[in-house]
Amino acid sequence: MFANRQPQDGDKILNCGHFFGRVNFYYHPEGVLVFNEGVVNWIVCCENCFNKSGNRLNPEVINRLGIWQGNEPIIQIDQRRN
């Protein structure tokens, strides 16, 4: 599904490390405090890790810090619906 707000180049993301298949993106306006790394506004995780973590932020599963590269949206508008 298309989302107006998506990660932008240079944004810090907390993630599971799996960027294939169905991927979930969550934006927290206030951010999530990551120990020694400051505040991260984006959490990105695959469907399997989302389910494995009990549909919540589980630091045993979603525990990698990354930097988003590029501004191309990974979630695009389905042109067939327009």
CA geometry: angle 46, 18, 37, nearest 5 deg: 95
In percent, how much of the chain has pLDDT > 90?
A: 0
Question: What confidence category does residue 72 fall into, taking pLDDT thresholds of 50, 70 and 90?
Answer: low
Determine the average pLDDT of the residues in 12-20. 86
Looking at residue 79, its pLDDT comes to 44
DSSP bridge pairs for 27: 42
25 confidence band (pLDDT: 50, 70, 90) = confident
Q: Virtual CA dihedral for 34, 45, 68, 65, nearest 10 degrees?
A: 30
Whether residue 43 has pLDDT greater than 80: yes
